[in-house]
Amino acid sequence: MPERNIVVTGASGGIGAALGEQLATRGDRVLLVARREAELRDVVQRAGPNAHPQVADVTSREAVQGVVREAIARLGHIDVWVNNVGRGITRPVSQLTDDDVDEMIRVNVKSALYGMQEVLPHFIERGAGHIINVSSMLGRVPSATFRSAYNGAKHFLNAITANLRDEMREQHPGIQVSLVSPGIVSTAFGTNAVHGGPDSRTLPMSQPVEEVAAVIVRVIDTQAPDVYTRAGMRDHVVSYFGRLGTDP
């Protein structure tokens, strides 16, 4: 595959860090974006000379605008933009506060929305580009009740991803939009959730982060529109919705 210029957000750890390392070591040029500077520079050092750091909080539209400018200045152009920022919550619906909901939307939806909107003019000008949004199986099947507003935020992300895909297909067919839905991933996601929570790395069926990153690499190569990170996940979603609702 040809070398690409790729922006990955949420790259100081977890999926983003593993993805950045895999892309850079295979020859892609990568701008890795995160708030935590020390951790981000460690990832860049491991990834090698094709990786470049950009410290930014992508829940700020102005910061995302700066990332777009930096990526174009440093790489020349952008081929792929991966929205990977996300944060969970440990609180049932009955106990959610306004701040809980606002935080879930800010991190899981607005960060991706800003990325989509701010990179689109560049892609439209070039007539090509690829946006990848990293969602969650809980955005398909909200089975973890304690994740509550996180589940809802990922459903929101799934909806606007599908809408943008249709919009681009009609107006700018050279721009591709993909959604990736992991299940439980062996990262610090659980312990970093709002109000704390179980360590995802200790949960059964936790998928190695390198496997999830490899799936995203394949999505970059194939431009597949909607991908789960493990076999059988799609069937689980179909089964779940098959059990719900009845015709009038």
Calculate mean pLDDT across residues 101-122: 98
Q: What is the pLDDT of residue 243?
A: 82
Calculate mean pLDDT across residues 90-110: 98
Calculate mean pLDDT across residues 78-92: 98
Query: Does the pLDDT of residue 140 top 80, yes or no?
Result: yes
Residue among 21, 22, 107 nearest 59 (CA): 107
Calculate mean pLDDT across residues 214-233: 96
Q: What is the pLDDT of residue 246?
A: 67
What residue spans define the domains of the chain? 5-241
- pLDDT bracket for residue 1 (50, 70, 90): low
- pLDDT bracket for residue 58 (50, 70, 90): very high
Neighbours of 60 (CB within 10 A): 14
Q: What is the pLDDT of residue 248?
A: 79
pLDDT tens per residue, range 166-195? 999 999 999 999 999 999 999 999 999 999
Q: What is the pLDDT of residue 205?
A: 85
Query: Is it true that domain 5-241 has CATH number 3.40.50.720?
Result: yes
Annotated active-site residue 228? The verdict is no
Q: What are the φ/ψ torsions at residue 177 (nearest 5 degrees)?
A: -130, 125
User: Is the full-model pTM beyond 0.85?
Assistant: yes
Q: What is the Rg, in whole angstroms, of the alpha carbon atoms belonging to the chain?
A: 17
Residue among 186, 200, 198 nearest 90 (CA): 198
Task: Please give the residue that has the higher pLDDT: either 1 or 38.
Answer: 38
The per-residue pLDDT of the chain, averaged, comes to: 96
Query: Does the pLDDT of residue 247 top 80, yes or no?
Result: no
182 near 188, Cβ under 8 Å?
no
Spatial distance between the Cα atoms of 210 and 65, rounded to a whole number of angstroms: 29
- pLDDT bracket for residue 207 (50, 70, 90): very high
